[in-house]
Amino acid sequence: MVAPGIDTEPAELTDEQLEVGRRLVSAIFGIGKQQAALGHKMSKAGVDRSTVMLLKTLVHQGPSRSSALAAAVHSDPSTVSRQIAAMVRDGLVERMADPEDGRASVLAATATGKALLEEQRRRLGLVLARVVQQWAPDDVDRFLELLERFVTDHERQLPTMINECVAFAARSEGEK
Q: Does one domain contain both 59 and 120? A: yes
Mean pLDDT of 88-111: 90
Q: Does one domain contain both 107 and 44? A: yes
Q: Does one domain contain both 60 and 123? A: yes
> What range defines the domain where residue 156 resides?
135-176
pLDDT at 8: 44
Phi and psi at residue 5, to the nearest 5°? 80, 5
Q: Are 115 and 109 in contact (CB under 8 A)?
A: no
Q: Does one domain contain both 77 and 145? A: no
pTM above 0.85, yes or no: no
What are the pLDDT digits (tens) for 28-37? 999 989 888 8
The fraction of the chain above a pLDDT of 70, given in percent, is 93
Q: Where are the alpha helices (DSSP H) in the chain?
A: 15-44, 49-61, 66-72, 77-89, 111-131, 137-174
Average pLDDT of the chain? Answer: 87
Q: Does one domain contain both 44 and 86? A: yes
- With respect to residue 7, please indicate whether it lies within any of the assigned structural domains: no
Phi and psi at residue 10, to the nearest 5°? -65, 145
